[in-house]
Structure 1
């Protein structure tokens, strides 16, 4: 549940063609209450993206507020009247098979507000926003507990000496119990951390034997 971009993306995407005019772009953004429009060709391959900030360049530069090299380069877009002249290209996209964590890293590194989602052929099939990724944290505690228990069992389910229990409250997962080895506790923690939707993980499991940090020998 909610592990891949395809699970949370919006599938019905309002798009623009390369020939879409400036006024049509503004109208589409206003009418559909979106912050950006992917620009696609006839095969729905993403050519670029027009964001609200791209359209605001006309307003800002028209008043002469050109202070930085980046803003000065924007003057060439001031004369643009169609999507292909105004858009930011190439657009930053994400594959539908990527995990939410991978998508989050793209958002953080590229400083974008939305990502067109493409299939293996590079064709647009959806769009995902930062807020879409946050829906994973609305996962019910009951569902989260089931997933956490499965993650525990996948590591130590057949180890009789490991007795680890989990509780979930408002997305906070607490692991209690006892394990034979420290390495088992570490492995369980790593497995549980991969469960989507955990707000915080507290590991209070006691290990009987430390096989990770063996005692120092006599000097």
Structure 2
């Protein structure tokens, strides 16, 4: 039921290597209309991210120290950025990444927590497999009502729960699911509603189900 990153990610990824120079990084960002790109080691592993903010920060440091006869980076006071000329020196590391198996909802939360618009998708050995963006994530939440209704009826009620759905009606409007009718056991209704809430794209579940027998523990 949960959509994974692999299902929505882009497999054609713009990336740079650790020795890509400042000007080439800037040109890459401008040409492809992106705000950041993964930085790859020689073996294809993602070792960092270089963004517009990283380039701007480095340029600001150059301006700040230009009149001081600046020669080499001095770690710890910002001057290290002033001497940065290639991606390996400019990048933010370690990169925040996800795997193809990561649920889209988790990827979305990570983007929000780290304040980024996209995340590199890496395999188990750290190699680049794709990129997932906020726009990719949003695709999950704009599924049609018909698509949601089909998944609930077929994948949840019929296949997962093996339920007789003759007495159950599912209606979806703007992502809001209304379930009406009756089931044999109260526990079945609770499980059904819980599973429907887990479906990507469901905004709200309105539970109007009844049951023939209450099989919940006393006091439950």
Give TM-score, length-normalised by structure 1: 0.84
Are positions 1:86 and 2:85 aligned together?
no
The residue number in structure 2 matching 1:108 is 112
1:141–1:168: 8 Å Cα contact kept in structure 2? yes
Q: How does 1:196-211 map to 2 (within 5 A)?
A: 196-211=200-215
2: distance between equivalents of 1:33 and 1:22?
17
Instruction: Give the SS at the match of 2:16.
Output: coil
Shift of 1:29: 0.2
Aligned equivalents of 2:161, 2:37: Cα separation in 1: 48
Gaps in structure 1 of 5+ consecutive residues: 65-71
Compute the displacement of 1:61 (Å). 4.4
Residues 131-210 of structure 1 aligned to structure 2 (within 5 Å)? 131-149=135-153, 150-154=155-159, 156-159=161-164, 163-210=167-214
Q: Using the TM superposition, give the Cα deviation of residue 90 of structure 1 relative to its aligned residue in structure 2, in angstroms.
A: 0.9
* Contact 2:158/2:164, CA 8 A, preserved across alignment: no
2:39 maps to 1:34: no
- Pair 1:215–1:44, CA change in 2 (3 A): closer
| 8 Å contact from structure 1 (residues 11, 125) kept in 2 | yes
String of CA shifts for 1:7-38, please: whole Å, max 9, x gaps. 11111111111111111111110010011110
Could you say which residue in structure 2 is the equivalent of 1:128?
Answer: 132
Unaligned runs of 5+ in 2: 65-75
Matches for 1:40-55 after TM superposition, within 5 Å: 40-55=40-55
CA distance in 2, matches of 1:20, 1:44: 14
What is the TM-score of this pair, normalised by structure 2?
0.83
Residue matched to 1:6: 6
Count of paired positions: 208
